[in-house]
Amino acid sequence: MHFHILTLFPEMVMNGLNTSIIGRAVKKELLSIEAVNIRDYAFNKHQSVDDYPYGGGAGMLMQAEPVYLAYEAVMEKIRERRQEAGQQETRSRVVYLSPQGRVFHQKLAEELAKEEDLILLCGHYEGIDERVLEEIVTDEVSIGDYVLTGGELPAMVMVDAIARLVPEVLHNDVSAEFESFQNNLLEYPQYSRPEIWHGKKVPEVLLSGHHANIEKWRLEQSILRTGQRRPDLLERYGKE
Ligand code: ADE
């Protein structure tokens, strides 16, 4: 899978994504992540990409043209790669990170993990000229009901959540299947050695070696925990 991040702060995004599991997956070529600097597509000699909003108001807006040219450059690369591989041309999804979008969740991560290319557009200042958003954006996504200074951290959150679902990125392929949010349940509690720590003992059933009982206990714990912490999720358990 190929991630393309359109941003004014490419180093921020690349530094955040080149370590740990995602960094290793990139080295193994299970994924590629490129950050495209929108400023490289500025069309004036000062390389500015922002301007005052028509009608007045606080702050500056990112202009349409540099964003569009950066997008076109990415699309051209995608087209070339697909042509060389003898694949059909398809429209890539373009996600604009914004607090006005629909809220990101695990199901959307699973859906987007099936894409071959994903373009993520990070806004800054007071936003982006609406006209370019109308032309290129297929999905507007928020990572939660709070306002950040830009779309970079949300883009990194999305890349992390999606990339770990790409086959072979996690060492243990089953671990993505049985974790929080699968079936709308939170994960059960887990324990490792030693058997007793600060006077607290590991639940007996986990030491029993009886797999059916362990599975039953884990499901009960998941249901209990989801009811206590996320009753809204438990409502949906077994229904979707
Ligand atoms: N940009 C600023 N705040 C954001 C948020 N909560 N989600 C996505 N993009 C954003």
The DSSP bridge partners found for residue 118 are 3, 93
From 12, 96, 120, 142, give the residue whose CB has the most ligand 1 atoms within 8 Å, as the site to mutate: 142
| Residues 6+ positions from 123 with CB-CB distance below 8 Å | 62, 96, 97, 98, 150, 151
Tokens at residue 182, please?
A: 């699968």
Shortest-distance atom of ligand 1 to CA 97:
9
Tell me the pLDDT band of 13, cut-offs 50, 70 and 90: very high
pLDDT, tens only, 216-230: 999 999 999 999 999
Which residue is closest in CA terms to ligand 1's atom 2?
A: 148
- Contact call for residues 127 and 62 (beta carbons, < 8 A): yes
Tell me the pLDDT band of 192, cut-offs 50, 70 and 90: very high
CATH code of 2-163, in short, is: 3.40.1280.10
Lowest mean pLDDT segment, chosen from 3-7, 66-70, 159-163, 180-184:
180-184
Domain with CATH 3.40.1280.10 in the chain: 2-163
Quick one: which of 187, 149, 163, 215 has its CA closest to 7?
149
**Who lines ligand 1 at CB under 6 A?**
97-99, 142-144, 146-148, 151, 154
Which residue is closest in CA terms to ligand 1's atom 7?
A: 142
Reported pTM: 0.93
- For ligand 1, the distance from its centroid to the CA atom of residue 169, given in whole angstroms, is 26
pLDDT score for 45: 84
Which residue is closest in CA terms to ligand 1's atom 5?
A: 99
The fold of 180-234 is: Trp Operon Repressor; Chain A (1.10.1270)
Domain with CATH 1.10.1270.20 in the chain: 180-234
Tell me the pLDDT band of 68, cut-offs 50, 70 and 90: very high
